[in-house]
Amino acid sequence: MLFARNDGYIISILNSINHRNSLLCINADRAFLKEIDGSCQTPIAAYAIIKDKKILLRTSVMHPEGKESYALEESCELDAGEQLGKEMAQKTKQDAAHILSLILKHI
């Protein structure tokens, strides 16, 4: 079933079942994965949780043969998760470029 984005009734139903903390975490890890080009076929991971009223984001990239990995863990205010995901992806691109290039060769 399709509905218009401005359908107030449907939006109100969806908002009533939305779990805000889950959405904040999902937005943070998806921002990382989108920025770094991660998918279900790549050994790239992101996992966000709420801890002490902050978003804690853990990310990692793994050598396709498991020989090496690179991981980060950072936290931010609840409203800054997407930005944190993007920043962590940029840092990973810089610090783990050699692992990322191997991943691209294997997909």
Instruction: Give the count of beta carbons closer than 10 Å to the beta carbon of residue 56.
Output: 18
Contact 93, 59 (CB under 8 A): no
44 DSSP β-pair partners: 61
pTM of the predicted structure, to 2 decimals: 0.86
pLDDT-based confidence at residue 3 (cuts at 50, 70, 90): low
- Asked whether residue 46 carries a pLDDT value surpassing 70, the answer given is yes
Q: What is the mean pLDDT of residues 23-28?
A: 97
pLDDT-based confidence at residue 9 (cuts at 50, 70, 90): confident
Instruction: Give the count of beta carbons closer than 10 Å to the beta carbon of residue 39.
Output: 10
Instruction: Give the count of beta carbons closer than 10 Å to the beta carbon of residue 24.
Output: 17
